[in-house]
Structure formats: C-alpha cells, structure tokens
Structure 1
Amino acid sequence: MNSIVFVLVGTQHPGNIGSAARALLVMGLARLRLVRPHRFPDEHADAMASGAVDLLRRAEVYDSLDAAVEDCAWVVGTSARVRYLGDEPLLPEAAARSLLDAAGKGATVALVFGCERTGLTNEEADRCHRLTMVPANPEYSSLNLAAAVQIYAWELRRAAITPQPVAARSDETFMKGRFRAPTMEQMEQFFEHLERTLIGTGFIDPTNPRLLTRRLRTLFNRARPDLNELNILRGILTSVEKPKHRTPRTKGPARTPPSASSASVRRPPPPDAAGAPETADGPE
C-alpha cells in the first residue's frame, strides 16, 4: 500500500483535495501527488481533510503529469466515459488488483484522477497503461472527485487484506531485478524510440501519424513487458536503425577422406600374412 500513489490532476476546488486526503488516510493509504492544482495550500483543503492534515502537508506538487508519474511502473487512469481507442476500462476491483500486483513487485504505481469538470484529456490518458471506470448510473454518472477517490481507496484496501500467492519474480533480488516492471519514464523512452524508428523506416508519416502511435501504446501497455523484455525490444529497434552485418558461423574446415594413393596410408596385412612361409627370393 505504501507504493501506491494517488495523483489528482488540475483539481479546481481545494475542498476536494482535503476530502481526498481524508479518504486515503481512512483506508491506510498515505501518498498524494497534485498536478497543477488551482489553489493549494488552502484553508478549505485543511478543513475538509479533518484529521488527515499531516498527509495533506506531505502532498507533492508537480507541473505536469509526466513528472508526477515518471517513476511509476504501472499507471491507471480514471475515466467517466468509454474512450473510442484502447481496451475496455477496468472495473474498480480489477484496477485495484492490477495496482497491487505491480506494487507487490517493488514498483511505485499510480492511480490518476482528472479535474472535476473535464476529467483526463486524451493526452493525459495516453500516459496511463490502462483506464478504469466506476459503473455508475448511465443516466447520471457525475461522481464527486473525493467520492471517486474513496471508492478506489476502499477497493485497494479490500484487495490488500485478501491473501494472494507471491510469484518468484515479485522478489526484487530475483535475477538482480532484471525482470522488474519498467518505470513510466523507461516506457516513454521506448515509445519515443519506437516512433523514431518507424518514422525512419517510412512506416509512419510524421506529418500524418493518425492514431497508429496511440494504438501501439495500447498494445504494449496491455502486454506489460518487464524490464528485460523492454531492453530486448529496444535492442531490436536499434538493430533496425543501425543494422549489423554478421559473418555466418561455420563449423570449421571440411574434412576430406584421404585418397587411396596417399603415401601415408598403411594397408593392413591380409589375415594369413603373419604365418606365410618365406620363398627363395625372400619374404614376399
């Protein structure tokens, strides 16, 4: 639970920040990050935080979502609507399980909430590995920001108190950590490398990329490659950018059987040669 970060982007009302802090503390969560809050610190935030003012004081403030999640290996964004692109949004329970699974491998993970009026923009949603949505009343799905935070905080606590099997790769020391989940910064470096390579091969038109890069993001976010696999993928991209001409490996010089006329050949004697008698001219 200490590896889970709640990120609020562009929060307009400071009271929602305070209420969110209170919701986190009640469920045993303690990490809050704010991206471009309209007013913070603020007395309304302190008032709504109630006994969670200390948590509020520890909240980290960032200028961009990229900076807020760059150290995170798994990022889930909340959405109030189904997006045209990408996978079907996770239900809150599944989102909580995915966050805890990633956090159990020693990684920092994040759950991101957009501002009250517009939610996450498409660009902000692109920075998330998956999206999640509360299946609210379709005729009135407007959910208060702090209430949404409370729902997910509870789902995380409920999932955390349920015993789960531990895989060998969840140990950070396993194979020197080469199978750990890559951070968001490492994934962004991979996406930049991928786009640069595809532009270089002509597969992507840089003046009209359309939706291809976003679909590729969805594909690799769904696959969730570990750090070792990500390095393999980047190695493949590098080999496309700078091909290596390797010499085919041989098995050594071919061996040819000696000829029958070779002087080095010693023919075995006939079976009865050892007991053959000598002639007048000497032994044959």
Structure 2
Amino acid sequence: MKTRFILLNTSHAGNVGATARAMKVMGFTDLVLVAPRWANVLRREETIQRASGALDVLANARVVATLDEAIEGLHHLCATAMTLRDFGPPTLEPRPHFAALAAEHGQNANFGVGFLFGSERFGMLNEDVYRCHTCLSIPTDPKFGSLNLAAAAQVLAYDWREALGGLATMMMPTDHASAAVQEPTPLADAQQLAGLLDHWQQSLTDIGFLDPEAPKKLMPRLNQLFNRAQVTQDEIHILRGIAKTMSQVAHDRTPKIKG
C-alpha cells in the first residue's frame, strides 16, 4: 500500500522537519505540503534541524498549491480534526480503523492512503474534511487534548505501520507466487472522485435537482456516499456517463428561442 502524509497550510517550519523525522523512523517517505507559509520551508534551517537526519524525506517532499494536487493517486483520505463536522465523515479511533483498512486493502500495492493535517492555528477547513473518508480521533486526556502536529503525525505513523505488520515486514522477501493472484479492479482515486462530483454537481443543476444558490449539504453528502461505496475507475466512467446524459436530456428539453 502507498502512504502519503499531507500538511495543509503549515505555518511552523519546525513541524515540517519533525513530521519528516516521524515518518522516516516508521519507514514512510512520501510527504506533500499544500501552500505552506514559507515557500522555501523545506530548506529552512529550523526544518533541517528538526528533521534530525531525515533529509531524504525532505529532499523527496513536494510543495503544491492545492489539495487536488496533493491527493492525486490516493484512494482513502484520513482527516485529523478535533471538531466534529455536520455531514462529515465518520470519526474513528486510528487503531481499529487502520486494522480494518489494512485487512481489506493490505495486499493491494497500488492502494493509496493519505493522512491530512491542518494548519497549526486553524486546523482543517470544512470542505477539506468533507472530502475525506474518515476523521481520525487520537484518544487523549479530555482535560488536555491538544496534540502538536508532528506528535500527531508520529502517533498515526506508528499505528499505521503496526497495522501494516510492523517494520519487520519491510525486510521480508517478495513472494513471487502471490504475483500470480489476479489484481483487484482499480479503485478511483480521490482526484477522480472530485472530478466526478464536479460533473454531478453541474448535471444535477442542469436537471433542476440542485439549486446552486442554496445547495445546502447535498454535495458533501454525495461525497460521503461515493467514499463509502469505494467506487472503481470503471464505475467512475459509468457515473460520469449518466451525468453527461442527464445534462444532455435537460439541454434537449430546454425550449429554443427562435430569432
């Protein structure tokens, strides 16, 4: 399975370095920063010092402008947010969720999991949380539940590595016999799902089901529905074909004004 740590609008360079260190000690290397406060954050002195030797993680890290770029190729997104959101994904503790996730997709090397961390001051935006499949809640003392960003990343990195079988599994030889097993149907990644939702939003508007001036929570609810369904790439094509047909029918039924 592929694992990516995504930091959204990070404001403290030290947290970037400390997160890189937390990832490296658990065997993870894919780090993406979305619109951090400092454009050169990966090269800042505080970042390098707090990385404490995890310089290869920093060297391979990417800085992107949008969440869409950060989640490309991922299939399951985990938000880290303390405040519950209406119509948001289910809030779960990491360990049982990770165990179920690894049991279901652990043999799929192409399945991508992303852990999203919001800014130190404001956390995650509602619209970013809505795009996730689950919201992880790390059990803490109810009187003091505030975790530093890098500390939260370390906890999740450890729990996720354990769910994947621990560090010892990284040293095991590949079982070539398992390669003969038929590959599962590829799931749609988060970016493909976002494109589907945009398409459906336009089509639902075209047929009059969605009022763009008062959308309420229809699209976040559909987002969660598709997340739970674990839509495949083939199903994305089907659903987008349905959306295209809805818009075409609505267009054909619109009275034409003759000049």
TM-score, normalised relative to structure 1:
0.75
Bigger radius of gyration among the two: 1
Matches within 5 A, 1:90-239: 90-97=92-99, 100=102, 101-102=104-105, 104-105=107-108, 106-161=110-165, 174=182, 179-239=185-245
Displacement of 1:128 in angstroms is 2.0
Across the aligned residues of Structure 1 and Structure 2, the Cα RMSD in angstroms comes to 2.4
Letter in 2 for 1:36: A
1-structure distance, mates of 2:212, 2:229: 25
Change (3 A) 1:112 1:206: same
Displacement of 1:172 in angstroms is 11
- Which residue pairs with 2:86 in the alignment? 84
Q: Which runs of 5+ in 2 are unaligned?
A: 170-177, 250-259
Q: Which has the higher contact order (CA 8 A, sep 6+)?
A: 2
- Which residue pairs with 1:17 in the alignment? 16
Change (3 A) 1:58 1:122: same
- Which residue pairs with 2:173 in the alignment? none
- Secondary structure at 2:123 match in 1: coil
Change (3 A) 1:113 1:104: farther
Letter in 1 for 2:136: T
Change (3 A) 1:118 1:148: same
Say whether the 8 Å CA contact 2:131–2:224 is kept in structure 1. Answer: no
Displacement of 1:30 in angstroms is 1.1
Say whether the 8 Å CA contact 1:99–1:109 is kept in structure 2. Answer: no
| Higher percent of residues as helix | 2
Change (3 A) 1:171 1:233: farther
Deviations along 1:68-113, one digit per CA (max 9) or x if unpaired, are: 1123222211111222222421211144346645564213331110
Change (3 A) 1:134 1:189: same
- Secondary structure at 2:228 match in 1: helix
| Higher mean C-alpha displacement, 8-17 vs 234-243 | 234-243
Q: Which runs of 5+ in 1 are unaligned?
A: 164-169, 244-284
1:68 partnered with 2:70: yes
- Which residue pairs with 1:258 in the alignment? none
2-structure distance, mates of 1:115, 1:183: 24
Identity of aligned residues (%): 36
- Which residue pairs with 1:248 in the alignment? none
Q: Runs in 1 of length 4+ with deviation above 6 angstroms?
A: 170-173
| Higher mean C-alpha displacement, 92-101 vs 133-142 | 92-101
Letter in 2 for 1:66: D
1-structure distance, mates of 2:70, 2:221: 23
